[in-house]
Chains A and B, each alone.
Chain A
Amino acid sequence: EDQVTQSPEALRLQEGESSSLNCSYTVSGLRGLFWYRQDPGKGPEFLFTLYSAGEEKEKERLKATLTKKESFLHITAPKPEDSATYLCAVPSGNTGKLIFGQGTTLQVKP
């Protein structure tokens, strides 16, 4: 069964303290992995798409990487405005459905 697991569930950082969020997946034939950011009370915002092991994508203080079993979202020198829930997802089979992880809630304190 296709599955996505994110860790940790919650992460508290001081401003400027770099860290990484993990997304482990089990899927037959990976056809992409997606990262989203979600602010409270809003819809998820699309961040990155990764398609193959070794691929990396960057946006401001965020960098997403992909291996054959997991993806990492690295946050370098975070700021309070980076506080949000980060979700990852993978396509399941040929249906077009996405399997979402439960998310990591990041809090960055000034």
Chain B
Amino acid sequence: DVKVTQSSRYLVKRTGEKVFLECVQDMDHENMFWYRQDPGLGLRLIYFSYDVKMKEKGDIPEGYSVSREKKERFSLILESASTNQTSMYLCASSLGRGTGQYFGPGTRLTVT
């Protein structure tokens, strides 16, 4: 079974802090994704990566950056957290482009 893990289930940070969200997958998948999910807005893609050291902007990249130094690990960085970044953050991975994505358990981030 594919396993995608995220570093924290719940996180509380203050406005202006730098925040790191880590995601690890154990199935040697090429592609990794970061989403945020908010009530009424559904899943929105922030960034994705097809390969190590590669990254592509999703639909809402502003205020975020990513890092993929190893194939199995994809990090989401909030350079200066703001209250409007309070959300559920979901990481996913997939074997190939356009194939089904497997999601991690999510990180509920609260910025105060």
Contact = CB atoms under 8 A, between A and B. Distances in A.
Contact of A42 (B48, B58, B102, B106): B106
Interface residues of A, number: 23
B99 interface: yes
A43 B105 contact: yes
Contacts of A45: 103
Given A41-B108, A42-B105, A46-B100, A96 B31 contact: yes
Nearest to A90: B98
Please report whether the interface of chain A is mostly helix, strand, loop or mixed according to DSSP.
loop
A45 B103 CA distance: 7
Given A97-B48, A102-B42, A103-B42, A43 B98 contact: no
A43 to B, nearest CB: 4
7 contacts: A31-B98, A42-B105, A44-B43, A45-B103, A46-B101, A46-B102, A103-B42
Interface of A: 31-32, 34, 36, 41-46, 49, 87, 89, 91, 94-98, 100-103
